[in-house]
Chains A and B, each alone.
Chain A
Amino acid sequence: MPYVATTGEQTEAQFVALVEALAADPAQRGQLADLLGEEHSHYDQLGTATVVQMRGWVLLALSRVGVDNAALVFVLEELDTGIDAYLVAAAARALRSYPSPNAAFAPFVMRALNHIRLRDEPVSFDGYGEYAVLSAGTSPIRELLATLAWLGPHAREVLPEIEAFLGQRGRLSKKLQIDADRALAAIRDADSADQAGTDNCCALPAGLRSTFSWALGSRRGCETIDSTVFEDHEGAQLTFREFFRGHPSIVAFFYTRCDNPLKCSLTVTKLARVQALLQEKGLADQIHTAAITYDPAFDVAERIRGYGQNRGMRLDACHRMLRATNGVDALRSYFKLGVNFIESLVNRHRIEVYVLDAQGRIAASFERIHWDERQVVDRAIEVRKEITGESVPGPAPEPTATPQGAKTVSPTLGTLASLGVAFFPKCPVCWAAYLSVFGIAGLEQIPYAAWLQPVLVAVMLVNFASVWLRGRSSGRMSGFYLVCAGALLIAVSKTGLDWDDAATWGVALTVAGSLLSALGARNGKSNGEIRQRKGESVSGLRA
């Protein structure tokens, strides 16, 4: 009599049938990549070993029908962070089905070789769920060497690393040495070298989606999780609203039982480096950081505190390790977390880091492929400038109605203020004269107000500061100099030196300076435009 009821086989059989059906139908092959999303319901309540077999089977199907850009990120992710022999071998094989070799793939293959070398074991691709028991199978190292041979001269950038790797005595068995020699010969092949051209090792194919960004006006509200309660590393209770509203935040997800050192452990270590960068820039108390566990039932306060401290995390009121004590599903849904579970334990997850704006809304996400700490910090600084109103240097947020509108209003108001100051009537008689010039009747309805002049002066000074800030950030100070000259002339006109044209010239210079400043800032932004908008890849920067 069985001790344990049999479950799961039906799900796996259905999954395999689905993969085969999708692979067989050219019109539906694109959906194979969707099956690699960790959150897919097929992976719910299955053990990690089963999930490995299922994902590996999808990668093998892709290797038969060809990897496209939608699937490429999953293949590269496995090479970048995978430690399972079966999945790494399947990913290496799948990469060879991409339409053409690309130099940007070589560092991924090299990293995979380094990660998997101590876990190299035979794998079988003969049938679903099979393990290699006879020597006829393949192995991740063998597949990676074959992929290097496929890359050929495109892998020249990593040739010294490959030579160092393969050069170590006893590293490869005799059987693998043949594959290694073949790979080296292909990479060194002078005839093919010209065909490989000068493609950039750091530029991944366009359309690879690993970094996403949302412009201010297009961000989803976080009302659904505002009341989600967290417990921090000290056991203190706080809601999402309390910790994440009022300032930008950088949020990473992890869990302490993750056995992949290239995922959670490294993510939290890198978050500690992010904190150090914020500290260097004096922003440690203005941009918060949080590491939230996927496994709140097991990761109690003491456990997450130790995990963070052991990886160099700064832990205080602005920087916390968190576990959700209620509303976990809402959190998972809000972030669209790439994770799945068997009961409360994670069976598979992706790397994911988010930048939240001051409203707790997701402004950017960095997924799957290893993220660069500086890039994340820079994005958080951009998001912070949305609050402070400073213009954004370099790759700035996508122009949206709200900030653009605000920045256009500023020079206009300032210019009007300058006009007001220059031509402000000195007494009630002047006020009457102005109104009569414009033919306005009913003087009693527009009384003279002496307090208006200091207000206009104040607005003019605001414009003065705004043009200076804009000039400093865009590197174009000419507008500021014109506004300075204009302000000086307006001041002169008020001193009673009897230079009637001074005010007119002052206003003209202020208008010109303000316009120049506003246009300069906008051009600067267009030029540096936002590489990482709308899913454009920036992950190649780290290669």
Chain B
Amino acid sequence: MATKSKAAKSPKPGKAGSAAKSSAPGASSAAASEAKQIDDRVAGLVESPLDACASDENLQAVLDILRNRNEPVEVRLAALQSLQAASFSVNAFESSRGDYTLALRQVAEDPNPELRQRVLGLLAREKDGFAQKKLLAGLKNPEKALVPPEKALQLLSYDVHAETYAAARAIVSNPPNAMARREALRLLAADATSAPMFEKILRDKDERAEIRQIAASALQALKPAKLQAHARELLLDTSEYEDIQATSLTAVTQFGDGAAIAADQELVKCVDRLSESGGSKVKQGARRFLSKYGFTTK
């Protein structure tokens, strides 16, 4: 990932200020005034977010703070927070939405990583094509990456229609780090063609429990019947880890076919045994299973 300089990290008020409008009234005016202390400006922005869209002048003043790389990052983050809060007021913010989106796109490549990541997060939640393009470009070429790959995958997963499955699959097979692989698997949980991969991961005892649980969750979404079959096998496997047995018990208890399970004596006996001899999580899950399907615990 490309490293960006932390240009605007100074606690002192910025000097440029050409964009800040001192004519804006109210809290936004106070925030725009470079003469004030950073804390006062932050408070001015955060206290009354709707002030930002009270007039075009106010909005432009807050947007200018957000865009201005010479402003202290605390003030810019507060401006972003204020705008974000104002955007929840759909009607009041309607006329400002275009300018807001434009400003976010301008800040998406800001040198400050925290601001950049938050802005990309806001755009990605709106399924913004510009943000998706930048995030995908970063996955394809780490030199252009604006956020770490795991974060990029997380943000891209907001839009199921983003062009991300191929990218996620490539990261699963060649992960830059463990977190990126985990996020790629989470993203692929909505990809029907990845079901065989999840079956393999679920049965692989060399995988971490967290990854196997992601695989179980993905199978429940994609191939629920397959998960039931695997969960049964995992419960019958006496060498299986406790976390995975607990997950398997949850699957068969919550989503199993009652009639089929009641008739499955081998499974019922196994769960009965687990209710006595398993670890605490397994015992709890096993008792819930027996109770749900009408078997009495010893």
List chain A positions with a Cβ less than 8 A from chain B.
Answer: 1-8, 46-50, 52-53, 86, 117-118, 120-122, 129, 131-135, 139, 141, 168, 170-174, 176, 257, 259, 295, 297-298, 300, 302, 342-347
Contact = CB atoms under 8 A, between A and B. Distances in A.
Contacts of B191: 343-345
Contacts of B222: 297-298, 300
A131 B131 CA distance: 10
Nearest to B108: A133
26 contacts: A1-B142, A2-B139, A3-B139, A3-B170, A4-B140, A4-B166, A7-B166, A47-B161, A49-B129, A49-B132, A53-B129, A117-B94, A122-B98, A131-B129, A131-B130, A141-B98, A170-B95, A173-B95, A174-B56, A257-B160, A257-B161, A298-B222, A300-B222, A302-B224, A344-B192, A347-B161
Contacts of A6: 140-141
B106 interface: yes
Interface of B: 53, 56, 90-92, 94-99, 101-102, 105-106, 127-130, 132-133, 139-142, 149, 159-167, 170-171, 174, 176, 180, 190-193, 222-224
A131 B133 contact: yes
B192 A173 contact: no
Which are the 5 A-B pairs with shortest beta-carbon distances?
Answer: A47-B163, A297-B192, A48-B161, A131-B130, A173-B95
Contacts of B174: 3
A122 to B, nearest CB: 5
A274 to B, nearest CB: 28
Contact of B163 (A5, A46, A122): A46
Contact of A48 (B149, B162, B166, B192): B162
B171 to A, nearest CB: 5
A389 B105 CA distance: 64
A346 B160 CA distance: 10
A342 B98 contact: no
A342 B165 contact: yes
Contact of A171 (B94, B127, B166, B223): B94
B56 A345 contact: no
B175 to A, nearest CB: 8
Nearest to A84: B129
A176 B95 contact: yes
The binding surface of chain B is classed by DSSP as: helix
Nearest to B143: A2
A174 B127 CA distance: 27
B224 A300 contact: yes
B140 A173 contact: no
B165 to A, nearest CB: 6
B176 A171 contact: no
Nearest to A121: B101
A50 B102 contact: no
Given A86-B129, A131-B130, 4 more contacts: A118-B97, A171-B95, A259-B161, A343-B165
B131 to A, nearest CB: 9
Contacts of B161: 47-49, 257, 259, 342, 345-347
A8 B98 CA distance: 29
A139 B129 contact: no
